[in-house]
Structure 1
Amino acid sequence: MKASTLSVILMAAALAACGNKAPAESAASAPAAAPAAAPAAAPAAAPAAAAPAAADLAKGEAVYSANCLSCHGAGVLGAPKFADAAAWQPRIAKGMETLYGSALNGFKMMPPRGGNAVLKDDEMKAAVDYMVSKAH
């Protein structure tokens, strides 16, 4: 009986640590000048997602550090560890829209928006982009 009580307490503590933090403010959150438009990609490149801009990655890093690190840094409750290519590759293979959906709506033990309901869609997507960029 004590082991099950301890498990519930540890699970609740882990989930509480995953969110409920205000999004980090950063100079990167200000709109950046758009880079010069590149020529249209060939149709064969369509399935691959475009690489996020440096400003978006900086915003993603700030959101990750404030909201995602506590679970993804240590792999709490099965969360894929940050920069662990082997853990991330099967998830990345499902596509970015699937990853965004999991981050926004929750997946398995991860609550929607990592437990921080005030995070905006673009902040969540930037955090996902940042984590994916480090998993290659």
Structure 2
Amino acid sequence: MSDAHNEQESLIRTPKQLVVAVVGFFAVTILGIILLVQYVTTTKLTGAGSNSQAPEEVAARIAPVANEGYTLKDANGPKVLQTGEAVYNVTCVACHGTGAAGAPKFGDAGAWSARIAQGYDTIVKHAIEGLRAMPAKGGNPDLDDVEVARAVVYMANNGGAKFKEPEVPAAAAASASAAAAPAASEPPK
């Protein structure tokens, strides 16, 4: 039997053809790499729907975290007293809005009637010093006594009382206006 049908012939028969084939292979490979690099670098690619490289987005990412949602206040400046409604919305609503721990719910005349019967001074004293489950000043030690009294009047009046809102003590009012006057008369720097 003849092995002629199993013999293979190579396309490269001389050393010159081998050198041309190797150089051609490297040339095609290098050309492919160059074209791929050129394709990748010619267009600026960003994620689909992404605006992450916009100057506004970059500025938002590198902005200090403390600037988000915090208000800085001057510890040496005059204290600005909050209204009763503002104190209620920030401090008191957690318990008095839901009736948690036996707190009289806001606007519930039945729950407030027993407390109103005790009188204004007693209710304010309990709110400032704390009573049973309620901490002193509703758990906010930064509140001034006048602010707590305003919040008590706001809640009690919505529960059926007819309390008059407390006045700011004369000493506190004088110091607040005195502190504000020099600041207003100073020229801007």
Fold agreement, TM-score > 0.5: yes
Instruction: Kindly report the root-mean-square deviation, in angstroms, between the aligned alpha carbons of the 2 structures.
Output: 1.7
Partner-residue secondary structure (3-state), 1:118? coil
List runs of 5+ in structure 1 lacking aligned partners.
Answer: 1-21, 23-28, 31-57
Give the Cα–Cα distance (whole angstroms) in 2 for the partners of residues 132 and 104 of structure 1: 15
Partner-residue secondary structure (3-state), 2:142? coil
Amino acid at match of 1:81: K
Amino acid at match of 1:76: A
Instruction: Tell me whether 1:87 sits opposite 2:114 in the alignment.
Output: no
Give the Cα–Cα distance (whole angstroms) in 2 for the partners of residues 64 and 102 of structure 1: 16
- Larger radius of gyration between Structure 1 and Structure 2: 2
Partner of 1:75: 99
Q: Deviations over 1:101-135 (max 9, x none)?
A: 01000011000000000100000000000001101
Give the Cα–Cα distance (whole angstroms) in 1 for the partners of residues 97 and 85 of structure 2: 13
Structure 2 residue corresponding to 1:62, chosen from 82, 86, 90: 86
Moved segments of 4+, more than 6 Å: none
Offset at residue 75 of structure 1 (A): 0.4
Structure scoring higher RCO (CA < 8 A, sep ≥ 6) equals 1
- Report the TM-score, using the length of structure 1 for normalisation: 0.58
Give the Cα–Cα distance (whole angstroms) in 2 for the partners of residues 70 and 87 of structure 1: 17
Count of matched residue positions in the alignment of Structure 1 and Structure 2: 82
Q: Deviations over 1:86-115 (max 9, x none)?
A: 000000000000000010000110000000
Offset at residue 80 of structure 1 (A): 0.5
List runs of 5+ in structure 2 lacking aligned partners.
Answer: 1-70, 72-79, 161-189
Partner of 1:116: 140
Give the Cα–Cα distance (whole angstroms) in 2 for the partners of residues 101 and 133 of structure 1: 17
Percent of paired sites with the same residue: 46
Partner of 2:131: 107
Amino acid at match of 1:135: G
- Report the TM-score, using the length of structure 2 for normalisation: 0.42
Give the Cα–Cα distance (whole angstroms) in 2 for the partners of residues 71 and 92 of structure 1: 18
